[in-house]
Amino acid sequence: MKPKRLVVVSNRLPIVLNRAGQHEWEIQPGSGGLVTALGPVLRHRGGLWIGWLGLPESDCPSEEYLKDLISSGMHQTGYSLGHVNLCREEVDRYYHGFSNEILWPLFHDLFDHCNFDQCYWDVYQKVNRRFAEEVVKSTDEDDYIWVHDYQLIMVASELRRMGMERHIGFFLHIPFPPLDIFLKLPWRFQILDALLAYDLIGFQTVRDRKNFIGCIRALHGYQVTGRGHVNYIHTDSRHVTVGAFPISIDYREFADFAKTEEVAEEAWIIHANIPGRQIILGVDRLDYTKGIIQRLMAFDNALTRYPDMRRKVTLLQVVVPSRQDVAEYEKLKQEIERLVGEINGKYTQVGWTPVHYIFRSIPRKELVAYYRTCEIALITPLKDGMNLVAKEYCASSIEENGVLILSEFAGAAAQFYPNALLVNPYDIEGVADAIYRAFTMPQETRRMMMRRLRASIQRNDIVKWVNSFLRAGISKDLNDFPQMELFVPKQ
């Protein structure tokens, strides 16, 4: 049997298309944990990545020019790329609409943010069919198809409808909601049936897996077997494997980069500008699921109830712009800025500003320098599939003197307990108490807890995540697939 080729299907390709001039374009490699993890596997076996370039078709260069750019991208990545074109209406209704105005808030238990527009559902199916057609065109029966995230739930069902039998796995990077929340989705049966068209479904946590199984039992009544982290769903026509596969980061890459001279210099500048204080770090994309408003309220509460913290701590809150053309996100930005101004107006003294607020994308060197420098990380999403910022912070804390305050509703909470201070982000006084506890924590306790956190991430890194999913999805011994333990990040 010839080795299987891995085909990754995600909303976005692992390359970024940018204008280099009025009539010139350039391709740059994408970044992120998924690209880092899957790149070596795809390069080794001549794999394929299928996705969208991130721009409406009307904003892209001519088809001939685009082919040349994608060929350049293939040369940079070392594996094949298959692109799916989307028109502006499809971007609005499939991506901004069904994906981000329905599935994103619903799966984060924030259904009051949902806009259940029927036209969103129609276009979502249409675009998923387009992705499936690209899979059919670009793959054969021996390939293993790995589909990623909530934007592409329908791909397997579209493939089955076309009569194409492929070995297909799916990984959901965001949480899966409990039954009472999921029931609010008008297309709940269609989404469940689409997920059951996969051979393997992967979730971030055991809680997400249990939520999904609960929905299957309540709405379909299929037999479910298995124990531990894996279940098997027996439908009328197939057997589906369901497991928990917590995603992680490239620990070595972050730890090694944090040790470099360039990061050390940047970290020195940060502390020189905020001398003699413990720095509390928040890093978030602009999104209502991140709990930024509640975090600022908790910091305000801590300064009120623990006045000995004043002049001794500074909250460094980084917010990365996201979906600024959406009114709800612009309103969130304005509320964040109002609270920052209110806190600074209330507590600022000569030589001390309580909150330093940064609203922009920050380069990787600056981000890792913040991770390395800040004594406390305050990561309090209202709900999160995993939260890789928490893992990046710990991996970059090479002096091991940082304290992680983490929302108990982040997927990483189960892995990090009891070495992180877990909080309920809705409990304003409770988060304030955790901030004070971190502020007063002895150095030896900090080092012990951070050392354990870093060891846990090092043992369970991004390579182990890929290994575990592909072992479950392809074969018990992987005789027909490359042995994943051979693929480790370059030192």
Q: Is the peptide bond before 418 cis (omega within 30 degrees of 0)?
A: yes
What does DSSP assign to residue 139? -
Q: Does residue 430 contact residue 407 with C-beta atoms inside 8 Å?
A: no
Reading the block at residue 247, the tokens are 């995603």
Can 148 be counted among the known catalytic residues? no
Query: CA–CA separation, 297 vs 60, rounded Å?
Result: 43
Any idea what the Cα angle at residue 295 is, between residues 179 and 304, rounded to 5°?
Answer: 135
CB 347 within 8 A of CB 354: yes
Catalytic residue among 284, 384, 433, 461: 384
Task: Give residue for tokens 């304005």.
Answer: 334
Q: What's the Cα-to-Cα distance from 245 to each of 60, 198, 201, rounded to whole Å?
A: 36, 16, 10
Q: Look at the alpha carbons of 298, 299, 301, 305 in this order and tell me if their dihedral is positive or negative.
A: positive
Which helix or strand (DSSP H or E) is residue 156 part of? helix 155-161
Please state, in angstroms and as integers, the Cα–Cα distance from residue 297 to each residue in 300, 303, 341, 343, 440, following that order.
5, 10, 12, 9, 20
CA distance 163 to 101: 31
Q: What distance in Å separates the CA atoms of residue 165 and residue 277, rounded to the nearest whole number?
A: 60
Cα–Cα distance measured from residue 406 to residue 410, given in angstroms and rounded to the nearest whole number = 7
Specify whether 23 is catalytic. no
91 to 13, 52, 159, 286: CA distances (angstroms): 15, 10, 22, 20
Active-site pick, 149, 173, 287, 433 = 173
- Whole-angstrom distance, CA of residue 450 vs CA of residue 34: 25
Contact present, 184 and 175 (Cβ < 8 Å): no
For the chain, the helix, strand and coil percentages under 3-state DSSP, each to the nearest 5: 50, 20, 30
Nearest CA-CA partner of 250 in 79, 455, 458: 458
Distances (CA, A) of 286 to 39, 108, 322, 332, 381: 28, 15, 5, 8, 12
Position 247: which residue type? Answer: I
SS3 category, 301 = helix
Q: What strands, in cross-sheet order, belong to the sheet with 278-285? A: 355-359, 313-320, 278-285, 376-379, 403-407, 421-423
Q: Give the residue numbers marked as catalytic.
A: 173, 384
